A and B are shown apart, each in its own frame.
Chain A
Amino acid sequence: GAVVSQHPSRVICKSGTSVKIECRSLDFQATTMFWYRQFPKQSLMLMATSNEGSKATYEQGVEKDKFLINHASLTLSTLTVTSAHPEDSSFYICSANPRSTADTQYFGPGTRLTVL
């Protein structure tokens, strides 16, 4: 099956620093990847849609200048949380669709971000 990886799986940083999270599709190409955020005891919330070779599309209420998304290749998308603050602490999850099967979305294992 399609495999999506994320790195790092867990990160702890100081307030004010920037953190980069990588999302890779290991055995397929993905023109589109998605970034979700999940707070404790809540469901996943879509943050943005990452399109290879073009600008990401952000959901309402998500600051594009704070959550920088780069989709430089068909297998890699990165999310950079700039000037992180404690309220940015969350579980960040990416997903991707294999180009051959536009129906099914496969998710990465998630990245737990803790901002002190």
Chain B
Amino acid sequence: DAKTTQPTSMDCAEGRAANLPCNHSTISGNEYVYWYRQIHSQGPQYIIHGLKNNETNEMASLIITEDRKSSTLILPHATLRDTAVYYCIVRVRGGANNLFFGTGTRLTVIP
């Protein structure tokens, strides 16, 4: 699976949009971009995934660049409960299915 690079930490004001970037310049054509988050002392929570088109669900939006070498997870209106470590993971769909977690981005939502 391709490697991803994320900023170590970010702050966001409550109520504002949180934009979390991820670089995956070595992504291959059959690899998807997945986002998970982990709130302190809990198991990771699935957020969203996509291949090349932008995706949106009730939690977030995923914007993938045209060359697919980077993506941005957008939390449209961040709340204090969104404070967590966010992991961007690239993997082949239907492959081994295990996920390799990097260090992620620690997002702190500030009141």
Q: Contact residues of A with B, CB < 8 Å?
A: 4, 6, 32, 34, 36, 43-46, 49, 91, 93, 95, 97, 102-110, 112
CB closest residue in chain A, given B92: A103
CB closest residue in chain B, given A104: B46
Given A43-B103, A93-B44, 5 new contacts (CB under 8 A):
A43-B102, A104-B49, A105-B97, A107-B45, A110-B41
What secondary structure prevails in chain B residues at the interface with A? loop
A36 and B49 alpha carbons, distance in the complex (Å):
21
Q: Contact residues of B with A, CB < 8 Å?
A: 32, 34, 36, 38, 41-46, 49, 87, 93-94, 96-104
- Residues on B with C-beta less than 8 A from A91 are 41
- Residues on A with C-beta less than 8 A from B94 are 102-103
Least CB distance from A37 to B in Å reads 11
A10 and B65 alpha carbons, distance in the complex (Å):
42
Are A109 and B93 in touch, CB under 8 angstroms? no
19 pairs, CB–CB < 8 Å, chain A vs chain B: A4-B43, A32-B97, A34-B98, A34-B99, A43-B102, A44-B44, A44-B99, A46-B99, A46-B100, A93-B43, A102-B97, A103-B49, A103-B94, A104-B49, A105-B46, A105-B97, A105-B98, A107-B43, A107-B45
Are A102 and B100 in touch, CB under 8 angstroms? no
Are A44 and B101 in touch, CB under 8 angstroms? yes
- Residues on A with C-beta less than 8 A from B96 are 49
Residue from B34, B36, B93, B99 within 8 A of A102 (CB atoms): B93
- Residues on A with C-beta less than 8 A from B87 are 43
Least CB distance from A9 to B in Å reads 10
A6 and B100 alpha carbons, distance in the complex (Å):
21
Are A108 and B97 in touch, CB under 8 angstroms? no
A105 and B16 alpha carbons, distance in the complex (Å):
29
Least CB distance from B51 to A in Å reads 10
Are A107 and B44 in touch, CB under 8 angstroms? yes
CB closest residue in chain A, given B96: A49
- Residues on A with C-beta less than 8 A from B43 are 4, 6, 93, 95, 107-110
